[in-house]
């Protein structure tokens, strides 16, 4: 297995990345992009890092559907056709779709080739690119096929965010909120003071959120214990995301669904006497102020609950949650009654955003 390297915060001169590339000067390199990151990020990267000018470029469509076995077959074939070896380097330049897809291709090609992540979306910078979870979707299930395979390193360059649409910034910020709530009360205090969520204010916050994720995955890579706390907001959020994919003409983004999930799961944390009502109201108030509501039909409880039961994080036929013990401290493997889950969904449904 690769070793877990700390996140390198790369500044304008890309020093950390250039240093790593010295180890690959006599190796082949390939940059995996989607149509958007080719358009908005590749030129910037090559301008700063001309060492990569000779790298192959593999491009896939900028859509979640690119996380598929068919695209993997294509990428494995292209690696083979270009005589790539396991010591050559795959560079994932993109959001979480690219790091999940490219990470999985790297994990499986010749039983594991070297790869690095250069995340270009906020969600990928604070979450998806860190921790080695890689995978593709299969038979309508998200991330069903995958592995945990660590990148050699992750390089974060904030300037990429300047071309990221505002809604994608908000989506990524959902995971930043989660980081504060589960692990860092001070970070949450900073977050809740923000009047608007814009990239200008994000540099330090992104750094803190990355460090939280890195610390957690370092101590529990295989999600046996504390890594489960990263799932706060995700049990219900993922069900809402799945619902939205089937029922909304323009489905919500991952982090937007997680924001809704955090309203419900902080409600459950309050109702099970973990956090106070004021804490819950503060969390809810911030999310309501910054996010749009993702609506669902109250008659569709059963499909939402069914998705929660099928959650691959469940090991038995129960609803297993990560909740907040207090702000900045999360707990995991908490069984929650179906009635309380429904109550939290009704609560969300009745909020005026």
Ligand X SMILES: NC(=O)c1ccc[n+]([C@@H]2O[C@H](COP(=O)([O-])OP(=O)(O)OC[C@H]3O[C@@H](n4cnc5c(N)ncnc54)[C@H](O)[C@@H]3O)[C@@H](O)[C@H]2O)c1
Chain contacts with ligand X (rule: CB under 6 A): 34, 36-37, 40-41, 62, 64, 67, 94-98, 100, 120-121, 123-124, 127-128, 131, 133, 142-143, 160, 163-164, 168, 171, 254
> Looking at 28, 67, 133, 280, which residue is catalytic?
133
Measured from each CB, the residue nearest to ligand X is 96
Of 216, 242, 211, 192, nearest to 332 by C-alpha is 216
Q: How far apart are CA 138 and CA 332, in angstroms?
A: 27
- The nearest distance, CB 168 to ligand X, in angstroms, is 5
- The nearest distance, CB 256 to ligand X, in angstroms, is 10
The crossing angle, in degrees rounded to 10, of helices 277-290 and 254-271 is 160
| Cβ count near 37 (within 10 Å) | 27
- The nearest distance, CB 64 to ligand X, in angstroms, is 6
- Catalytic status, residue 78: no
> Looking at 54, 111, 139, 222, which residue is catalytic?
111
- Catalytic status, residue 213: yes
> Looking at 227, 228, 274, 280, which residue is catalytic?
227
> Looking at 142, 152, 238, 274, which residue is catalytic?
238
Of 126, 98, 82, nearest to 35 by C-alpha is 98
- Catalytic status, residue 111: yes
Rg (CA), the chain: 20
Which CB sits closer to ligand X, 129 or 279? 129
- The nearest distance, CB 34 to ligand X, in angstroms, is 5
What DSSP string runs through 239-260? HHHHHHHHH-SSPPPHHHHHHH
- Catalytic status, residue 234: yes
The alpha carbon of residue 129 and the mean position of all alpha carbons in its chain are separated, in whole angstroms, by: 7
Which CB sits closer to ligand X, 208 or 279? 208
Q: Which residue has the tokens 């970070």?
A: 187
Buried b (16+ CB within 10 A) or exposed e, 267-296: bbbbbeebbeeebbebbbebbeebbebbbb
- The nearest distance, CB 352 to ligand X, in angstroms, is 27
Q: Which residue has the tokens 């929650």?
A: 336
- The nearest distance, CB 253 to ligand X, in angstroms, is 6
- Catalytic status, residue 238: yes
Which CB sits closer to ligand X, 101 or 336? 101
Which CB sits closer to ligand X, 233 or 279? 233
- Catalytic status, residue 48: no
Which CB sits closer to ligand X, 95 or 261? 95
Buried b (16+ CB within 10 A) or exposed e, 310-347: ebebeeeeebbbbbbeebbebbbebebeeebbeebbeb
Which CB sits closer to ligand X, 94 or 261? 94
Q: Write out the catalytic residue numbers.
A: 111, 133, 175, 213, 223, 227, 231, 234, 238, 254
């Amino acid at each position: 297995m690769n070793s877990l390297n700390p996140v390198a915060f790369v500044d304008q001169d890309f020093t950390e990345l250039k240093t790593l590339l010295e180890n690959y000067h006599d190796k082949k390199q390939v940059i995996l992009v989607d149509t958007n990151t080719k358009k908005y990020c590749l030129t910037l990267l090559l301008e700063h890092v001309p060492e990569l000018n000779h790298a192959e470029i593999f491009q896939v469509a900028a859509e979640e559907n690119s996380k598929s076995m068919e695209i993997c077959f294509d990428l494995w074939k292209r690696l083979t056709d270009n005589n790539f070896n396991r010591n050559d380097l795959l560079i994932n330049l993109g959001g979480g779709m690219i790091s999940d897809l490219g990470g999985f291709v790297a994990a499986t090609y010749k039983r594991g080739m070297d790869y690095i992540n250069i995340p270009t979306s906020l969600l990928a910078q604070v979450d998806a690119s860190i921790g080695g979870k890689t995978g593709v979707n299969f038979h309508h299930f998200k991330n069903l096929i995958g592995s945990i395979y660590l990148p050699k390193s992750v390089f974060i360059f904030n300037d990429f965010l300047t071309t990221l649409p505002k809604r994608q910034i908000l989506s990524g910020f959902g995971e930043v909120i989660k980081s504060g709530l589960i692990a860092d009360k001070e970070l949450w205090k900073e977050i809740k003071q923000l009047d608007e969520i814009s990239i200008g204010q994000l540099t330090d916050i992104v750094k803190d959120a990355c460090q939280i994720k890195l610390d957690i995955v370092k101590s529990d890579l295989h999600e046996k214990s504390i890594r489960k706390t990263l799932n706060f907001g995700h049990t219900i959020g993922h069900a809402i995301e799945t619902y939205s994919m089937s029922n909304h003409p323009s489905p919500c983004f991952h982090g937007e669904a997680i924001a809704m999930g955090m309203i419900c799961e902080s409600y459950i944390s309050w109702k099970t006497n973990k956090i106070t009502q004021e804490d819950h109201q503060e969390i809810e108030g911030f999310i309501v102020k910054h996010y749009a509501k993702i609506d669902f039909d109250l008659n569709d409880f059963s499909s939402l609950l069914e998705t929660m039961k099928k959650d691959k994080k469940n090991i038995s036929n129960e609803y297993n949650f990560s909740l907040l013990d207090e702000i900045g401290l999360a707990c995991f493997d908490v069984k929650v009654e179906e009635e309380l889950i429904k109550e939290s969904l009704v609560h969300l449904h009745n909020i005026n955003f």
